[in-house]
Amino acid sequence: MTTEVIHDSHQGDEHHDHKMTGFKRWLYTTNHKDIGSMYLWFSFIMLLIGGAMAMVIRAELFQPGLQIIEPDFFNQMTTVHGLIMVFGAIMPAFTGLANWMLPMMIGAPDMALPRLNNWSFWILPFAFSILLASFFMESGAPNFGWTFYAPLSTTYSNGSTAFFVFAVHIMGISSIMGAINIVVTIMNMRAPGMTYMKMPLFVWTFFITGYLLIAVMPVLAGTVTMVLTDTYFGTTFFDAAGGGDPVMFQHIFWFFGHPEVYIMILPAFGIISTTIPTFSRKQLFGYSSMVYATASIAFLSFIVWAHHMFTTGMPLFGELFFMYCTMLISVPTGVKVFNWAATMWRGAISFETPMLFSVAFVVLFTIGGFSGLMLALTPVDFQYHDTYFVVAHFHYVLVTGALFSIYAGVYYWLPKWTGYMYSDALSKWHFWCSLISVNILFFPMHFLGLAGMPRRIPDYALQFADFNKWVSIGGFAFGLSQLIFLALLLKCIKGGKKAEAKPWDGADGLEWTVASPAPYHTFEVPPKIK
Amino acid sequence: MDNAPGKNKQKQAINNTIKKLVVLVFAMFGFGFALVPLYDVFCDITGLNGKTSTEAASVKDAGVDSERTVTVQFISRTAQGIPWQFEPMINEVKVHPGEMKFVKFYAKNQSMRDIVGQAVPSVSPGRAANYFQKIECFCFNHQPLKANEEVEMALQFYVDEELPEDVSTLTLSYTLYDVTEKSDS
């Protein structure tokens, strides 16, 4: 893709700005870059809060027996850890990246709906305040698992259901508005000449993710509403006594829940498809197959939900259907992994930090994919179901998958955002510490699960003690490693070596045609794409 | 700026997209709720899940298939928090498909307060649920029992002749729930 950029002579920081200062600037801002930064900071804070909860969990599980916390508080920790990481850390981080990069990648001056954008960010802190405030209630925070299965969240709720439901409602509204904004921007604001098949793959993945969000977040809103009315208003959607069915809860929840999994991984594919070509100094191998693979994964995500429910007593036909559909997803996913490998093949590869995270992503995400395939097999899932094998699986795809891709993206675009190069040494420390500790943390969980250790239980049998000790040590190390990133971030914002407009020589795309740091307003006159 | 008509056209396009997406959001919200009746319809048609009909079947005079014998087992359990004794008065019966059978369940409210109970049936294997026809069942109504009151409750049923050949045993399970709060009586 060749681009020809027409820069306004007066484009820059001072350009008809009535920039406010202090808190008001951030509260009132409609600038996609400001909002992107706020999303990213918010998600990082949430990562640390959710991470602190994981530390509590791992501290309790360091030794067999109950040492530090009560079982009920342990349940609250696992529940809120999950909710915060899914809705507070991973999803807002991707929305933040989308806000920062999408307009610059498609040559638009801003998102299509800047005020909506402001609102969708600023309701998030309220949602999480509500959720976290429930810790201070007498009966405590939600303790029914982030999947809030009925009747745990209805009949046996500890009284936090209302807090939980309203928090999820607000998060859902925020996500839906964010997704509408992304889709509208991509459909209508592309620079002249940028056809759909010329969009960077990063843009494609967010486009498809936006549609997934619009399709399933309303279903989640419906589910939590049913839980709310079941708990407080006497309806019986999930209560067999009134003609409802608790198994139906799982069907409706996972109808949302499985596409949600892809909402958290498709943007990661987009990031990796941007970084790997840059540092391999080659074009992305098989661009159009990547687009179709992304679309097929999104489509298939709607017809595999019941593989989370193999043990609920489905008829054989249902189990086979969902098993085969699930295994089918490995085909487009395999296309992607092979395309990334082919992009690297015979490339002039250099291992800057974004590339390190990207390569780690490809390898470790694939491990998570393989354990996913094992879980897709109905007969063996009966053994793996609700064990640490599942925990190992989804942490490989969400931590070394989604989170590592976000780190790759942040390290890739950080010079564009701050205008400074970050400390190479610190970033490498961050990478290697994270890589080693994350594997000590999650790899032994596979063995624990296969040996039968159940998840979400604060105690375990003695034979699991050694592995759990290592897992906990890996957990603490991984948690501390993220503080290196915080230090690096603060240092990079303050200053450092000036970044060039295009700090990576192999990089391609409109975002590198503007100065570093990116001016407050970019592409007020759209660039022409040939 | 320099091409105002172009900007207007873009605005128009943006508004159109927003409208479509907002409709989609509301449609999907509705779809979430539509899944509830859809789930019931799906279970009704396929007999998955072991749900039996909540309405009385009509008496059928299609003759009895005395060549074949099916065992019907009865089990009962009480949901957490309902202090009733609740059990079938006979554990299993052998029936010919098409043959009418009458059995009784015993219930006693063992507490010192009045409680309204609701029994919810389920048939295993699930695919046999549609062939288990109840003509009269205590599960069709709420069962109010005063403190310490006891009752014998009737169930009249037949097994449809169309029951798949390979099913020789049916298990009918009742779970009893406390619906005092939700009941008006």
A238 has a chain B CB within 8 A of its CB: no
> Per residue, what are the HEC states of A444-461?
HHHHHHHCCCECCCCCCC
* Phi and psi based region of residue A22 (left: phi greater than 0; alpha: psi -120 to 50; beta: remaining): left
CB contact under 8 A, A188 and B179: no
Does A19 or A479 have the greater pLDDT score? A479
Phi, psi of A301 (to 5 degrees): -60, -20
Is A32 tagged catalytic?
no
Residues from chain A contacting residue B120 (CB–CB below 8 Å): 240-241, 243
CATH number at residue B103: 2.60.370.10
Q: Average pLDDT, stretch A85-92? A: 97
CA distance A69 to chain B (A): 27
pLDDT on residue A20 = 73
Give the residue from B3, B8, B24, B122 with the most A CB atoms within 10 Å of its CB, the best one to mutate. Answer: B24
Q: To 5 degrees, how large is the angle CA A267–CA A203–CA A295?
A: 65
**Choosing from A254, A262, A396, A412, which is the catalytic residue?**
A262
Residues B7 and B79 in one domain: no
Is residue A441 classed as helix, strand or coil in its secondary structure?
A: helix
Structural domain count of chain B: 2
Element housing B94 (H / E): strand B92-95
Find, in chain B, the residue whose alpha carbon is nearest to that of A226: B33
Confidence of residue A9 (pLDDT cuts 50, 70, 90): very low
Nearest residue to A478 (alpha-carbon basis) of A47, A3, A162 = A47
Instruction: Check pLDDT > 90 for residue A14.
Output: no
Is A174 tagged catalytic?
yes
Residues B41 and B59 in one domain: no
Instruction: Check pLDDT > 50 for residue A301.
Output: yes
CA A523 to CA B106: how far, in whole Å? 79
Is A110 tagged catalytic?
yes
Find, in chain A, the residue whose alpha carbon is nearest to that of B7: A189
- pTM across the whole model: 0.89
Residues B37 and B65 in one domain: no
Radius of gyration, alpha carbons of chain A: 23
Residues B130 and B77 in one domain: yes
Q: Average pLDDT, stretch B105-134? A: 87
Residues B65 and B155 in one domain: yes
Q: Are B143 and B115 in contact (CB under 8 A)?
A: no
Residues B114 and B158 in one domain: yes
CA B95 to CA B102: how far, in whole Å? 11
Residues from chain B contacting residue A241 (CB–CB below 8 Å): 79, 118, 120, 177-179, 182
pLDDT on residue B4 = 67
**Choosing from A146, A204, A305, A388, which is the catalytic residue?**
A146
Instruction: Check pLDDT > 70 for residue A242.
Output: yes
pLDDT on residue B49 = 67
Identify the burial level of A166 via C-beta atoms within 10 angstroms of its C-beta, where 0-12 means exposed, 13-18 middle and 19 or more buried: middle
Sheet with strand B169-178: strands edge to edge: B92-95, B70-78, B169-178, B115-124, B143-145
Q: What is the DSSP string of A389-403?
A: HHHHHHHHHIIIIII
A216 has a chain B CB within 8 A of its CB: yes
Q: Average pLDDT, stretch A475-499? A: 95
Give Cα A6 distance to the centre of its chain: 35
- Cβ neighbors of A191 (< 8 A, separation 6 or more) are A106, A107, A108, A510, A523, A526, A527, A528, A529
CB contact under 8 A, B175 and A240: yes
Residues from chain A contacting residue B171 (CB–CB below 8 Å): none
Residues B93 and B68 in one domain: yes
Residues from chain A contacting residue B35 (CB–CB below 8 Å): 219, 248, 251-252, 255
Q: To 5 degrees, how large is the angle CA A59–CA A62–CA A68?
A: 45
**Choosing from A198, A281, A455, A528, which is the catalytic residue?**
A455
pLDDT on residue A217 = 97
Q: Average pLDDT, stretch A184-198? A: 94
Token pair belonging to B126:
């699930």
CA distance A180 to chain B (A): 7
pLDDT digits (tens, 9 = 90+) for A346-374: 999 999 999 999 999 999 999 999 999 99
Is residue B85 classed as helix, strand or coil in its secondary structure?
A: strand
CA B133 to CA A364: how far, in whole Å? 54
Is A280 tagged catalytic?
no
Residues B26 and B93 in one domain: no
Confidence of residue A5 (pLDDT cuts 50, 70, 90): very low
Q: Are B108 and B150 in contact (CB under 8 A)?
A: yes
- Cβ neighbors of A136 (< 8 A, separation 6 or more) are none
Find, in chain A, the residue whose alpha carbon is nearest to that of B53: A243
Which A positions 300-329 lie with beta carbon below 8 A of chain B? 313-315, 318
CB-CB: which of A184, A242, A252 is closest to B14? A184
Q: Which residues of B touch A (CB under 8 A)?
A: 1, 10, 13-14, 17-18, 21-22, 24-26, 28-29, 31-33, 35-36, 39, 46, 48-49, 51, 54, 79, 118, 120, 126-127, 175, 177-179, 181-182
Is A7 tagged catalytic?
no
Confidence of residue B184 (pLDDT cuts 50, 70, 90): low
A183 has a chain B CB within 8 A of its CB: yes
pLDDT digits (tens, 9 = 90+) for A248-268: 999 999 999 999 999 999 999
Domain range spanning residue B9?
Answer: 1-46
Is A260 tagged catalytic?
yes
Q: What is the DSSP string of A295-352?
A: HHHHHHGGG-GGGG-GGGT--HHHHHHHHHHHHHHHHHHHHHHHHHHHHHTT------
pLDDT on residue A483 = 96
Residues from chain A contacting residue B14 (CB–CB below 8 Å): 112-113, 184, 188-189
Number of cross-chain residue pairs from A and B with Cβ atoms under 8 Å apart: 96
CA distance readout (Å), A263 to A302, A342, A408, B26, B172: 12, 25, 18, 20, 42
Is A336 tagged catalytic?
yes
Q: To 5 degrees, how large is the angle CA A205–CA A209–CA A213?
A: 175
**Residue type, position B14, single letter:** I
Instruction: Classify residue A420 by its DSSP letter.
Output: B
Q: Average pLDDT, stretch A424-435? A: 96
CB contact under 8 A, B33 and A222: yes
Which of A169-173, A400-404, B33-37, B126-130 is least confident?
B126-130
CB contact under 8 A, B32 and A184: no
Element housing A222 (H / E): helix A201-232
Residues B39 and B61 in one domain: no
Residues from chain A contacting residue B21 (CB–CB below 8 Å): 180, 183-184, 214
CB contact under 8 A, A241 and B178: yes
Instruction: Check pLDDT > 80 for residue A180.
Output: yes
Residues A202, A205, A206, A209: what is their CA dihedral angle, to the nearest 10 degrees?
Answer: -160
pLDDT on residue B137 = 87
CA A474 to CA A471: how far, in whole Å? 5
Instruction: Check pLDDT > 70 for residue A460.
Output: yes
Q: Average pLDDT, stretch B9-21? A: 92
CB-CB: which of B14, B178, B181 is closest to A112? B14
pLDDT on residue B129 = 82
Residues B83 and B108 in one domain: yes
Residue indicated by tokens 């109808």? A255
Confidence of residue B185 (pLDDT cuts 50, 70, 90): very low
Is A258 tagged catalytic?
yes
ipTM over 0.90: no
pLDDT on residue B62 = 67
Element housing B157 (H / E): strand B150-159
Confidence of residue A18 (pLDDT cuts 50, 70, 90): low
Nearest residue to B111 (alpha-carbon basis) of B68, B75, B149, B76 = B149
Strand B169-178 versus strand B70-78 pairing type: parallel
**Choosing from A81, A416, A430, A521, which is the catalytic residue?**
A81
Nearest residue to A156 (alpha-carbon basis) of B116, B81, B114 = B81
pLDDT digits (tens, 9 = 90+) for B51-105: 776 677 777 666 777 888 999 999 998 887 888 999 899 999 999 988 888 899 9
pLDDT on residue A19 = 65
CB-CB: which of A176, A183, A241 is closest to B179? A241
Residues B87 and B164 in one domain: yes
pLDDT on residue A274 = 96
| Mean pLDDT rounded to a whole number for chain B | 85
Confidence of residue A469 (pLDDT cuts 50, 70, 90): very high
Residues B94 and B71 in one domain: yes
Does A316 or A108 have the greater pLDDT score? A108
Instruction: Classify residue B59 by its DSSP letter.
Output: P
Instruction: Check pLDDT > 90 for residue A76.
Output: yes
Q: What is the DSSP string of A39-84?
A: HHHHHHHHHHHHHHHHHHHHHHTTSSS--SS-HHHHHHHHHHHHHI
Instruction: Check pLDDT > 60 for residue A218.
Output: yes
Which A positions 89-148 lie with beta carbon below 8 A of chain B? 112-113
